[in-house]
Structure 1
Amino acid sequence: MNNILYILLFLFISNLYFTQTATNLAYLNDGGVKLVDNIEYISLEDNANGLLLIININSKDYTFLVDTGASVSILNNQSFKNANIVERKEKIKIKDPLGNEEEKDLFYLDFKIGENQLSDFAFIKSDLSQLFKNNCSKLDGIIGANVLKKLNWKFVKKENKLFFSQKPFTYEGYNEPTSVKWAGSIPLVEMKVNDYKFLALIDTGHFGTFIFPNYIYINNFGFGTYYNSTKGRGNLVTTINGSQKVELKKARLESLSLGNIDFSEYEVILAPKVLPNIGNGIILQNGFIFNFLTDEIAFAKNEKSTKAEPLRKIKICKSEKNSREIEVCFFWDEPTNKMLKLHDQIISIDSINTADIDAEQYCKVISYVQEAKKPVKLVLKRGKKQFDYILN
């Protein structure tokens, strides 16, 4: 007999999921849409930092991240300190991925995407600076699932365009559609490992591929086989309320699939107490259709036979002690990384001197590493010792 695991809003990683009550949901379901044409689209500049939309509020343009994993939309209070926003008396209780709960005021806003009017949608205010300090994203806010579920969406990768409509998109050139189940306002889809089924969050705001709960697989079901399971060192999880170390592992899971798509070759991250999560490394890889109004999604077919890329071996961050230095803040405990220690300073990357850099230079370095098409040489410093490291 198949076991189906239904997990609602178990909280996790560098992203925002919110608990919801029946009263909250009534407010979150508010909002109306008026499109100029049946199908609208916007051209995207870059999706290295996720799907970014320019939205217009009170005749001013702002940059917002499209995040299906956030049940309510968010205004960055650094961008909206003095904005003329009408506050309603309703409040919502939210939890961050570490389980910290707080009460937030709900704001109701009208805004435009292009010339298309969206009215009376719920937002909260929060400081997003901690979430994005290490990837250099400059965001004014997040468009959450309470807005996104009011439309159908189609991302065409080769054109780098995001289409939206109140009519469903056809699936020509896409894999078989998968049904969406809703946990409040966030979308879940059914995945499988061998014959066992579970629900996973479709999360365009998670910068990665797959994150799954290790205790569910190992202790509850024991399904799937780990191939070369590897521990992470550092394991810093960042939320709007701060950071915490969490034990992470990576592995491959036998017969991992979504509908007719096989993901067995992909490395997945395993962590305690998380909602199974499909990130934008999968969602944006070839393109997608989110027919939210008919409760279906589909991923574009892999025309170029894109292979599953391994997870990055290390993570580069600003130094915890000196903001003008960069360091190794995370790495996988595997043979190629045996010489590494946390907080090793990175003093150069290829020909770029990184021993003393400002915020703008740091962002250029991060972009350089992300966009590199060949191995990158790092020179690391630990005390008086210096040594080379090749980042593939």
Structure 2
Amino acid sequence: MMLEAIHSAGQATSWLVPGRILFFVIHVLGLACFSYIVARRLVPLLQAERDLRFDRPLSRLGRILKIWLGQWKHPRYMTAGMIHIFIFAGFISLVLRSFSLLIFGLSDNFAIPGFPGTLGHVYDVITDYAATIVFLCMVIAAVRRLVFRPARYAVPSTYGKGHTADAIFLLGLIAILMAADSLFTASNAAFQVRQGREVESLAPLSLAWLYNGAFVSAPFSTIQGVRLGVCLLHEFTFYFLLCYRPFGIQFHVITSLFNVYFAKLDKGTVKPVKWGLANDHLDQVKSFGVKKFEDFTWKHMLDFYSCADCGRCTDNCPANAVGRPLSPRFITIKARDYSFEHYPVFGRKPANNSKPLIGGIYSEDEIWSCTTCGACEEECPLLIEYIDKIVDLRRGMIDEGNVPQTLQKPLKALEKRG
């Protein structure tokens, strides 16, 4: 019996365009678009105040291993934490397979060095289960967001808009990626069966295993079409998700590694008025504190990009717990939204690009409500810093004589007596 030929995505023709050319164009456009978006997002960081965060590299690498790779703080909220750990571990496991799928349209026989053989089969089984677990986690996370939403996800009207729709959309994109990955694996297994070969690796009860059952009686052309279609779907979804992340709450997927690395190493310290300027030279400073967005340091702006909108900081804030108008979560989110609005990826900056922060996006009561206890920073799984920003905003208000009545007397006494 003559076996029907299996065509790779590169050999096929889509929309009258040869496969290799189509996939090459997708790669180039996807990477170019992502590079442009990230470059635009870096603009405010390049215009920000300096911050010294390049010391003690070994200690910082230790933080990466413990906090970022080890997901050290996530289990403090057990349900959400375990979901995140499963998703994170799944993505780490799937890196090589996703890379292989991206290359599939350009090379017919691409194989990761060292992976053909037993090691490759073991890895395929692991990634089959990883894709299945991540897919299920997406479903659970979506249901949790929509039906069993924790109170800390709520967005009071005074703090602006919520991001539930954005979160659900992103969860859907990731679920599509996992489904496409599993469908591709299932179609490969179906081809092996049609050729009379033993299926090399297909994890029982995985998503790929379930999909493979649908291919048992499917025509060869259908399997071929599905295989090529999911390869294209994976490519488009991968690059769309990559380029969309810098516009929403999943920007932290890209920035969190850097945010954890550059996080403050010494607890209980507050940043100086100006980095690199001794205290006895403060009379040379024309303006103290943060008054406009560009007065924040580049690390603080990186914090804004890295917020996952999980609400742990506000959930543990004592000022918020007693009804004060402070939410550390929205100290970050409102600044990120301000950055997205005033430093757009497409188009020009708005004319009123330098409006003051106090009275613009923050209220005076909001900033003075903080007790500087550090509970928000202790809980944040991505080591976002809040106290330095709030202290700098207070410095800016004091520099302009904008001081609450309850603080005027103590500050005058401090000025007189030192």
What TM-score does the superposition give when structure 1 sets the normalisation length? 0.22
| Larger RCO (alpha carbons 8 Å, 6+ apart) | 2
Structure with more helix by fraction: 2
Structure with more strand by fraction: 1
Greater Cα radius of gyration, structure 1 or 2 = 2
What TM-score does the superposition give when structure 2 sets the normalisation length? 0.21
